[in-house]
Structure 1
Amino acid sequence: MTEAQLAQGFDFAAELRDLAARRDIAEAAHRYMRGLDRLDPVLQRRAFHDDAVVDCGLMKGTADEFVAFCQDFLGTMEATHHLLGQHRIEIVGDSASGEAYFQAWHGVRDEGGAVRDLFIAGRYLDQYACRDGEWRITARLLVTDWVKDDPGSLDFFAANPGAVRGGRRGADPSQSGVRS
């Protein structure tokens, strides 16, 4: 702590609360993303408070309805990979708002069965609340900024059958206890 901060009456406890809140909000976002990619509805649902509402454009509803929608929709795809970018958070007491950038790859097939790489990028505009000491999402609006749909290829995996692939529904190496 600098002398200037001490002279201004720096509130160390308030700074720690702010940092802990940001950590916990980020952890909620991480649970959400991991729940999507691993097709783990329990983990995804733990990102939201019970009264949360979500509008993703394709559907609007409760957290339970949204999680069921995501798990069903993403479950039709061969794989997904969601990545979080910058995350702006503004905290006021036990409430917060935020904007998190994301990019998501979806392994899909077209009507003829050909492999496609569907990329979607956008932002989550979120409201958060701390209840019973736990920060979770209370409202989410998914904003889509761009989409790209390209022919895909599984040639790498065919040429490298020993490559460890990500799995879903409990079959991922991070979930099965298999580590290198």
Structure 2
Amino acid sequence: MSEAQRETATLAGGCFWCLEPIFKALRGVEQVTPGYSGGHVPNPTYEQVCTGTTGHAEAVQIVFDPAVISFRELLEVFFTIHDPTTLNRQGNDVGPQYRSAIFYHSPEQRATAEQVIAALSEQRVWERPIVTEVTPFTAFYPAEEYHHDYFARHPDQPYCRVVIAPKVAKFRKQYLEKLAR
């Protein structure tokens, strides 16, 4: 696939260990990288981001083929795999590094994100309002190597078994027709 056929999406919705295996399983997704985005500290470490003082959110950067899967479809998955109504938290993960955010790479991505949020809000999918921030992409810093493919490499780790595995199972059941394998 040539560069011109690729798009990039940068999404934050809690722990990147939860997001990475889900987006990697989608047909049309070429690459998913866990990392940090939205903050003011260049090249942050995981330990720095965990303090909640860097401004960064744990995020995934997704390279995808828009001829196979659209940005809107990525957002549809995104909004079903996390709770976009909790400010700076996902379950027991609390802090600004776990916020819900869409870091758009183009005016088209911004418009799509705003349309999807407006439609979900109008449908009253959740009892509380959506607090997902929609902000321009500025930088993405890949996470340390030990975070890459964390769920695949550590399926028996308690967090993976209790938190990630049920999310992945629910996603696979709901999006069977969009799975790459």
Give TM-score, length-normalised by structure 2. 0.29
Q: Whose Rg is larger?
A: 1
Structure whose residues are more often strand by fraction: 1
Structure whose residues are more often helix by fraction: 2
RCO higher in structure (CA 8 A, sep ≥6) = 2
